[in-house]
Amino acid sequence: MSTQNENGAPKPPTPPDFHIDANEGSDVKKVIAVVSGKGGVGKSSVTAMSAVWARRNGYQTAVMDADITGPSVPKMFGVGYQDLVATEECLYPATTVTGIKVMSMNLLTKQEDAPVIWRSPVITGALKQFWTDVAWGSVDYMFIDMPPGTGDVPLTVFQSFPVDGIIVVTTPQDLVQMIVKKALGMAKLMKVPVLGIVENMSYIKCPHCGEEIHLFGESKVQEIADKENIPVIARIPIDPDMASFMDNGKAEYYECNFMDGLKEVLPEVEL
């Protein structure tokens, strides 16, 4: 094979392919990463609500908790160490009451509050095993709850997994808007499509008159979305009921239509 172009100049090196194969017991059609540039914006809650929406609409759904050192997804769905099935060949994810498949570091430890004190290479290695060693079965949509920031774990997910798109989570504060732009920038560099933005903690509704109160100031999410030419999927209010359902492992019992915008942006799969 020639190492030169037609004009005789050296060809640029072929970029390395970091993609890894899924477990042979997996058939995952679409992978959606839920990201943000910082913590504390409700990324895990949005991931949980996205999975619940997909399952209620008839899709086979899974959640991979990629926040290895700060996992919270199992608690939201009421699953734990006892729900994980392991054989000599592979692991099988825990399954929630409505059939959502879940894999998280918290499912591998008997104590859910046990700290995971690992260096980055070990963390990314464990994350890859969630893809290679877990038999997910047939999944239409897998939502990946990403850790905050643009470090090793997001880089590993984007380079190693077949990510079909990302959902960016933000809140109304100006500082968060700036950080979200970094997440959008990383997605562009990694050539991963941005499906849309979810603004969490967008407002609180007065229980007496129904007025929307903007605790963090007026939303700028539409301004950013228009500038980046991406849709706003949802504006989610602060709701004590939602927090209670999530805290008590009842995410699937919380009734809302906040995530209905997903039907307009998720890549299609056949039911």
Query: What number of helices (H) and strands (E) belong to the chain?
Result: 8, 12
Span 16-41, pLDDT tens digits = 778 999 999 999 999 999 998 778 88
Best CA proximity match to 106, nearest among 75, 144, 137: 75
Helix or strand holding residue 181 (H, E): helix 174-189
Residues 6+ apart with CB under 8 A from 16: none
Residue partners of 2: CB distance under 8 A and separation at least 6: 11
* Prediction pTM value: 0.91
pLDDT grade for 8, boundaries at 50, 70 and 90: low
Q: Which residues of 239-268 are buried (b: 16+ CB within 10 A; e: fewer)?
A: eeebeebbeebebbebebebbebbeebbee
Q: Is 157 helix (H, G, I), strand (E, B) or coil?
A: helix
Of how many residues is the chain composed?
Answer: 271
CA gap 158, 83 in Å, rounded: 28
Residue-level pLDDT at 4? 59
Residue holding tokens 């774990």? 153
Q: Which residue in 52, 101, 72, 73 sits closest to 260, CA to CA?
A: 52
Supply the DSSP symbol for 115: -
Give the whole-angstrom CA distance, residue 220 versus residue 192: 24
- Region 179-192: what's the mean pLDDT? 84
Q: Tell me the per-residue pLDDT of 84-108, one tens digit each, with 9 for 90 and over.
A: 998 988 999 999 999 999 999 999 9
The mean pLDDT of 166-175, rounded to a whole number, is 85
